Amino acid sequence: MNKEILVDARWLEPPEPIERVLDALDRLGVGERIRFLIHREPLPLFPILDRLGYRHEVRLLDDGDFEILIRAG
């Protein structure tokens, strides 16, 4: 079974949400993903993920929050 690391950073102030995701990347294993929840689209995070070789999918949730799924590239 694939493991999912949940990073719920809704309503945290910058730079803590990105710091939490980067911390979770260090724990990410093969076949695992990070499910990142945040109240606004974390645009500064996307180039960092690209540079580090991670793929991400962004989804706007019904409540207006964002869900970003992050996997190794």
On whether the pTM is more than 0.85, the answer is: yes
pLDDT at position 39: 97
**Domain residue limits, the chain:** 4-72
Q: Report whether 54 contacts 24 (CB < 8 A).
A: no
Q: What is the pLDDT of residues 8-43, one digit of tens each?
A: 999 999 999 999 999 999 999 999 999 999 999 999
- Smallest Cα–Cα separation from 42: which of 68, 22, 20, 62? 68
Structure tokens at 10: 């809704």
Of the CATH numbers 3.40.50.880, 3.40.630.30, 3.30.110.40, 3.40.50.150, which one belongs to the domain with range 4-72? Answer: 3.30.110.40
pLDDT at position 10: 97
pLDDT at 2 over 80: no
Q: What is the pLDDT of residues 49-62, one digit of tens each?
A: 999 999 999 999 99
